[in-house]
A and B are shown apart, each in its own frame.
Chain A
Amino acid sequence: MILVNPVVDILLISGLAAVIVPLLGGLVRAEKRFLGIVGVLAYIALLAYLLQPDVWGSIHRYEPFQGLFSSSLTLDGFSKFFILVFSILAIPVYLHSIDYMARDRNLVLYYTLTGIMMFGLIGLSMADDLFTFFVFWEAMAISSYVLVGFRYHLDEPVEAAVKYLVMSGVASLLMLYGISIIYGLVGSLRISAVVAYLQGGVTGQAIYPVLLAATLLFIGFGVKAAYFPFWTWLPDAHPAAPSPISALLSGIVIKAGIVGLAKFALPFIDLLDEVFYPILVIVTVVTITLANLMALMQSDVKRLLAYSSIANIGFVLIGYVSALYGAGVVGLAAAFSHVLSHALGKGLAFLAVGGILYVLHSRAIVDLEGFGKRYPGLSIALMIALLSLSGLPPLPGFWSKWLLILSAWEAGEYLIAGVGVFNSVLAAIYYLWLFQRIFFSEPRIESRVEVPGYLLTSLTILIFIMVAIGIYPELMYSYAFEAAKALAPLLATP
């Protein structure tokens, strides 16, 4: 069933999930927490809509404006993949919020902002030109600042939100500057026009503005994706946010930077590969290694997960590097597989930690000792997430990391392949140590709080999806490969 145009319909469904909340909020007097159901239903509907054959089967375009602010959105393999990832994570996050946020005030604001953030994410993954992309990007970014500082009566979230706001705001401005340069060079912001301009050959003096624009984009996306050296906001902001929001931030919001990088920056990097090659390799290696080492040193479980998110962004970059320097589509497919597996794994990890916070009121790893004896369900969920993130079969993390290493090997990037393998084992060993503390130590904190139902359901959904993908990796690979194929024409060396 297609109402107007698949692109518009998808935006409508996801926009409605945001807009309807304040209206309903006025009607519902008590139990405002159940507004979360709106989001759950909306994203189930969106998934169902997306997966119907006449929407999934072909490429759809929508061009609302012409002229100076010409705008275009495309629903191709690439955007379908990302919408899929975003929606799959949104459902358990909304479910989790129903229980987790029950004790907070301003729930109408919370659900509205979450809705807008999701709307921005879904829009930007379909954007086909930098202008549209930027509009959705800002919608997503601004709502996420507020969500990080949502518990404004506490110090930590406010401080983290301000830091995030400043860094991300500057990054957005730099990106905007880059976009304006590109407009000046190409005369259009359509990615097809930009690619045509770049592949037409840029010679002599003209290379410098292109280089400047590319650098600005690389920094702009880099702050959001949080790779080295632009990551400093993330370890503060992600732990400070409420846990469901942390799950969204770490699971998919940082992937917005990955979307932008893939669609808008890779063509530039492809052209300027001599300049960018050493930069990319250094950024990748340092991001993975340093973030992993930092993760091992944390005493706060949410900070640990935040650093692990940075390390995983580094893993996604492995795929991009290999794609640019030899592995082509396989590299991109590996990177996108990892986007999915990390979104699931990190989403589950933050939601499980949310559950732990709900019953324990402590984020310190020491307090988790012996926790597994009291709350085996929550602990096992956290361990499944961590083991998937460290790449142990039969979980999706294994399939994506393994493909990343293969693509790096295929591209001849032996250093990066080695760094990747070494780091995943390092992480596996560390997480195992954590496992021992959680399951085999004597409990330190007594807690008799029951784990609420919606919260457990949200974890179960994610575990189920992860095990399914772990046993049938085709579920992940086929979508990721479609996405990679859709993006391949943007690269000169497919």
Chain B
Amino acid sequence: MLVSLSLYILVIGALIAYLAAEKLGAKTGYLVFAIIAAVQGITHYAYVYSRPYVERISWVDIPGFMETTLFFKVDGIGFLFVTIIMTVTALAAIYSVGYMEHAENIRVYYMAYLIYVAGMYGAIVSYNLIQFFFFWELMLIPSYYMIAEWGYGDRRRVAFKYFLYTQLGSILLIIAIAILGTLSVEKIGVLTFDLDALYGLIGSIDMATQRLLLFLMLIGFGVKMALVPLHGWLPEAHAEAPTPISVILSGVMIEIGLYGLIRYTIPFTLDVWGSEFFTNLLLGLALITLFYGGLNALVQRDVKRLLAYSSISQMGYMFLGVAALNFVSLEGGIYHVFSHGLLKALLFMVAGVMIHVVGVRSLDQLGGLAGKMPLTASLAIIGAMGIAGLPGIAAFISEFMIFGGVWEANTPYRLAFLFIAVLGSALSAAYMTVFIREIFFRELPEELEEVGEAPLTMLIPMAGLAILAIVFGVYPKPLLDILVAGLEEFFAAIGGVA
């Protein structure tokens, strides 16, 4: 009841926003914030009073053919993802008020925005494979449209490329879903996609099928996660999207691919994933992603491109946690989704300030702004310190747990992997230092003498993100408790590993 209510609120809210935006213009962002906050409130209530929250509605119920329900479940893992998605999107909605004030066609913007949020929310709370895919695809069209309509540069081509990559990934997912559906007909006797039924298949899937499933789903989700070498769409899309959308793309959307891997791939490919060979392979893939993104970020001269490559690099960390596949590493990986979501959203908003307030997005033409916009500068430094992995900010905790998890991975080379991964942190620190120095320190160019502080509608969301990042860096216990409960349940459901 509560989760479907939330989905109704988002979809009907999209229509209301469309109508309201005719009068309110960009200020509809406040309304959008309220809608998203309401959804977060409802979900919070649902989770806190019945951990985990479960909701099933009859959907396709044809005896002898297909019996699958609309199955919503908010467990610890899902709750963490929902919270970060709602936090980032709600704050980005306020940010849009300032950022999109001169944009044309703003009515469609907020409508697409809420449908996009509905897609992400639905994907996380679904506990049914085909239903998950349904929402997964629902994210695509609005995000595509927002990049193509309000983006920068060669936006049509960039958006098209984004669509193309994602759609090609989806083909493989569809085949994987067809395989699991066929297995459910063979083993359960009826076509079903409810995860509680599908988890019953674990242990009866032969190795060849598991390998096939891993191959299909790793690529399918990997495109969204921008694992190297499937990352081609990301640097352009994240850099050219309108900034509030970059915030969402980098901060939360690509992480949904990771969520898909945890929820829908690991359980069905447990034996393959946990084997030594594949552990090496996946950890290697994560490290390649980490270093490729980091090294590229180091040499970028465009604020948003630097951050986009940094997202690839950070995705390497998250995937490292998932690839190592043990309790601590998964805990770290998922917590990193949360902390990276806050910090990367904050940094993209800083980049948005450069574009919107300063009007310059090349690092070569920026500099010395710390004196002109002290608040923005302090917030940006908090974000940069977080990504660099300094203690006291949320990402430190998650990276630390990821490293701990890698040490427990099922591979004899874990020391080497761990060493290289820790080395990667130095890389993060390096590109973040470049980012801060080139924008806020050095000499102030003459053209930027007139620049003032960013408007409040931009500062408030940034401050909110920074405060949350510090609070959950100093006192992560409430979230970690929820996450541990979720992971315990998850491992119990798939019968294993921990």
Chain A interfacial positions (CB closer than 8 Å to B): 329-330, 333, 387, 392-394, 398, 402, 405-406, 409-410, 417-418, 421-422, 425, 428-429, 432-433, 436, 440, 472-474, 477-478, 481
Interface pair B62/A478, CB less than 8 Å apart: yes
Interface pair B163/A477, CB less than 8 Å apart: no
Interface pair A406/B62, CB less than 8 Å apart: no
Residues of B close to A410: CB separation below 8 A: 181-182, 185
Interface pair A394/B65, CB less than 8 Å apart: no
Interface pair B62/A440, CB less than 8 Å apart: no
Closest 8 CB pairs of A and B: A406-B178, A474-B60, A409-B178, A393-B134, A393-B137, A410-B182, A406-B181, A481-B65
Interface pair B167/A477, CB less than 8 Å apart: no
Q: Mark B171-213, 1 if CB is under 8 A from A, else 0.
A: 1001101110110010000010000000000000000000000
Q: B164 contacts the other chain (Cβ, under 8 Å)?
A: yes
Q: B168 contacts the other chain (Cβ, under 8 Å)?
A: yes
Interface pair A428/B167, CB less than 8 Å apart: yes
Q: Contacts A394-B134, A429-B167 known; A474 to B178 CB distance under 8 Å?
A: no
Interface pair A477/B65, CB less than 8 Å apart: yes
Q: Is the interface of B mostly helix, strand, loop or mixed?
A: helix
Q: How far is the CA of A393 from the CA of B115 in the complex (A)?
A: 13
- By beta carbon, the residue of chain A nearest B179 is A409
Q: How far is the CB of B198 from chain A (nearest CB, A)?
A: 14
Interface pair B179/A425, CB less than 8 Å apart: no
Residues of A close to B191: CB separation below 8 A: 330, 406
Sample of 10 further A-B pairs with CB below 8 A, known A394-B138, A410-B182, A473-B60: A330-B65, A330-B185, A398-B137, A402-B178, A417-B178, A421-B174, A421-B175, A436-B148, A472-B59, A477-B66
Number of A-B contacts (CB under 8 A): 78
Interface pair A474/B62, CB less than 8 Å apart: yes
Residues of A close to B24: CB separation below 8 A: none
A-B contact pairs, 7 of them (CB 8 A): A392-B137, A392-B141, A405-B174, A433-B160, A440-B149, A473-B59, A477-B60
Q: Mark B131-150, 1 if CB is under 8 A from A, else 0.
A: 00110011011001000110
Q: B443 contacts the other chain (Cβ, under 8 Å)?
A: no
- Within B57-88, the residues touching A (CB, 8 Å) are 59-62, 65-66
- By beta carbon, the residue of chain B nearest A470 is B134
Q: How far is the CB of A96 from chain B (nearest CB, A)?
A: 26
Q: Contacts A409-B179, A425-B168 known; A432 to B163 CB distance under 8 Å?
A: yes
Q: B156 contacts the other chain (Cβ, under 8 Å)?
A: yes
Interface pair A409/B156, CB less than 8 Å apart: no
- By beta carbon, the residue of chain A nearest B65 is A481
Q: How far is the CA of A406 from the CA of B174 in the complex (A)?
A: 9
Q: How far is the CA of A231 from the CA of B130 in the complex (A)?
A: 35
Q: How far is the CA of A429 from the CA of B165 in the complex (A)?
A: 10
Q: How far is the CB of B109 from chain A (nearest CB, A)?
A: 14
Interface pair B156/A406, CB less than 8 Å apart: no
Interface pair A422/B171, CB less than 8 Å apart: yes
Interface pair B168/A436, CB less than 8 Å apart: no
Q: How far is the CB of B230 from chain A (nearest CB, A)?
A: 16
Q: Contacts A393-B134, A394-B134 known; A409 to B149 CB distance under 8 Å?
A: no
Q: How far is the CB of A354 from chain B (nearest CB, A)?
A: 25
Residues of B close to A409: CB separation below 8 A: 175, 178-179, 181-182
Residues of A close to B60: CB separation below 8 A: 473-474, 477
Q: How far is the CA of A402 from the CA of B60 in the complex (A)?
A: 14
Residues of B close to A477: CB separation below 8 A: 60, 62, 65-66
- By beta carbon, the residue of chain B nearest A441 is B156
Q: How far is the CB of A421 from chain B (nearest CB, A)?
A: 5
Find B164's partner among A333, A429, A478 (CB 8 Å cutoff).
Answer: A429
Residues of A close to B141: CB separation below 8 A: 387, 392
Residues of B close to A474: CB separation below 8 A: 59-62
Q: Is the interface of A mostly helix, strand, loop or mixed?
A: helix
Q: How far is the CB of A98 from chain B (nearest CB, A)?
A: 29
- Within B87-142, the residues touching A (CB, 8 Å) are 130, 133-134, 137-138, 140-141
Residues of A close to B59: CB separation below 8 A: 472-474
Most chain A Cβ neighbours within 10 Å, of B61, B149, B171: B171
Chain B interface residue bracket vs A? 20 to 34
- By beta carbon, the residue of chain A nearest B159 is A436
Q: How far is the CA of A481 from the CA of B171 in the complex (A)?
A: 25
Q: How far is the CB of B150 from chain A (nearest CB, A)?
A: 11
Residues of B close to A406: CB separation below 8 A: 177-178, 181-182, 191
Q: How far is the CB of A272 from chain B (nearest CB, A)?
A: 27
Q: How far is the CA of A87 from the CA of B181 in the complex (A)?
A: 32
Q: How far is the CA of A254 from the CA of B32 in the complex (A)?
A: 47
Find A425's partner among B133, B134, B171, B181 (CB 8 Å cutoff).
Answer: B171
Residues of B close to A428: CB separation below 8 A: 167
Q: Contacts A393-B138, A429-B163, A432-B163 known; A405 to B178 CB distance under 8 Å?
A: yes
Interface pair A402/B174, CB less than 8 Å apart: yes
Residues of A close to B170: CB separation below 8 A: 425
Residues of A close to B171: CB separation below 8 A: 421-422, 425
Most chain B Cβ neighbours within 10 Å, of A398, A402, A406, A429: A406
- By beta carbon, the residue of chain A nearest B155 is A440
Q: How far is the CB of B497 from chain A (nearest CB, A)?
A: 29
- By beta carbon, the residue of chain B nearest A387 is B141
Q: Mark B285-308, 1 if CB is under 8 A from A, else 0.
A: 000000000000000000000000
Q: How far is the CB of A282 from chain B (nearest CB, A)?
A: 22
Q: Contacts A393-B133, A417-B175, A474-B59 known; A425 to B167 CB distance under 8 Å?
A: yes
- By beta carbon, the residue of chain A nearest B168 is A425
Q: How far is the CB of A235 from chain B (nearest CB, A)?
A: 26
Q: How far is the CA of A126 from the CA of B351 in the complex (A)?
A: 66
Q: Contacts A393-B133, A405-B175 known; A436 to B156 CB distance under 8 Å?
A: yes
Interface pair A481/B138, CB less than 8 Å apart: no
Q: How far is the CA of A370 from the CA of B66 in the complex (A)?
A: 43
Interface pair A333/B65, CB less than 8 Å apart: yes
Interface pair B175/A440, CB less than 8 Å apart: no
Q: How far is the CA of A282 from the CA of B423 in the complex (A)?
A: 55
Q: Contacts A394-B134, A474-B60 known; A436 to B182 CB distance under 8 Å?
A: no
Residues of B close to A481: CB separation below 8 A: 62, 65-66
- By beta carbon, the residue of chain A nearest B58 is A474
Q: How far is the CA of A374 from the CA of B130 in the complex (A)?
A: 37
Q: How far is the CA of A429 from the CA of B144 in the complex (A)?
A: 12
Q: How far is the CB of B50 from chain A (nearest CB, A)?
A: 26
Residues of B close to A433: CB separation below 8 A: 160
- Within B25-69, the residues touching A (CB, 8 Å) are 59-62, 65-66
Interface pair B156/A440, CB less than 8 Å apart: yes
Q: How far is the CB of A407 from chain B (nearest CB, A)?
A: 9
Q: How far is the CA of A387 from the CA of B59 in the complex (A)?
A: 23
Residues of B close to A393: CB separation below 8 A: 133-134, 137-138
Residues of A close to B61: CB separation below 8 A: 474
Q: How far is the CB of A118 from chain B (nearest CB, A)?
A: 29
- By beta carbon, the residue of chain B nearest A482 is B62
Residues of B close to A417: CB separation below 8 A: 175, 178
Residues of A close to B160: CB separation below 8 A: 432-433, 436
Residues of A close to B156: CB separation below 8 A: 436, 440
Q: How far is the CA of A472 from the CA of B134 in the complex (A)?
A: 12
Interface pair A329/B65, CB less than 8 Å apart: yes
Q: How far is the CA of A418 from the CA of B179 in the complex (A)?
A: 12
Q: How far is the CB of B107 from chain A (nearest CB, A)?
A: 11
Q: How far is the CB of B39 from chain A (nearest CB, A)?
A: 19
Q: How far is the CB of B131 from chain A (nearest CB, A)?
A: 10
Residues of B close to A398: CB separation below 8 A: 134, 137
Q: How far is the CA of A393 from the CA of B59 in the complex (A)?
A: 16
Residues of B close to A421: CB separation below 8 A: 171, 174-175
Residues of B close to A436: CB separation below 8 A: 148, 156, 160
Residues of B close to A387: CB separation below 8 A: 141
Residues of A close to B65: CB separation below 8 A: 329-330, 333, 477, 481
- By beta carbon, the residue of chain A nearest B134 is A393
Residues of A close to B140: CB separation below 8 A: 392
Q: How far is the CA of A422 from the CA of B174 in the complex (A)?
A: 11
Q: How far is the CA of A428 from the CA of B165 in the complex (A)?
A: 12
Residues of B close to A402: CB separation below 8 A: 130, 174, 177-178
